[in-house]
Chain A
Amino acid sequence: KNQVEQSPQSLIILEGKNCTLQCNYTVSPFSNLRWYKQDTGRGPVSLTIMTFSENTKSNGRYTATLDADTKQSSLHITASQLSDSASYICVVRTANSGYALNFGKGTSLLVTP
Chain B
Amino acid sequence: DTGVSQDPRHKITKRGQNVTFRCDPISEHNRLYWYRQTLGQGPEFLTYFQNEAQLEKSRLLSDRFSAERPKGSFSTLEIQRTEQGDSAMYLCASSSGQDTTYEQYFGPGTRLTVT
Contact = CB atoms under 8 A, between A and B. Distances in A.
- Which of A44, A45, A89, A105 is most buried by chain B, counting CB atoms within 10 A of its CB? A44
Interface in B39-58: 40-45, 48, 55-56
Contacts of A108: 40
B25 interface: no
Given A32-B101, A41-B111, A103 B42 contact: yes
B21 interface: no
Interface residues of B, number: 27
B33 interface: yes
**Interface majority SS (helix, strand, loop, mixed), chain A:** strand
Contacts of B95: 99
Interface in A63-97: 89, 91, 93
Size class of A's contact patch?
Answer: 20 to 34
B31 A41 contact: no
B104 interface: yes
A93 B55 CA distance: 18
Query: Closest 10 interchain pairs by CB?
Result: A103-B42, A43-B106, A99-B48, A44-B106, A105-B42, A43-B108, A43-B109, A43-B107, A103-B43, A89-B42
Contacts of A4: 42
A98 B111 CA distance: 27
B87 to A, nearest CB: 14
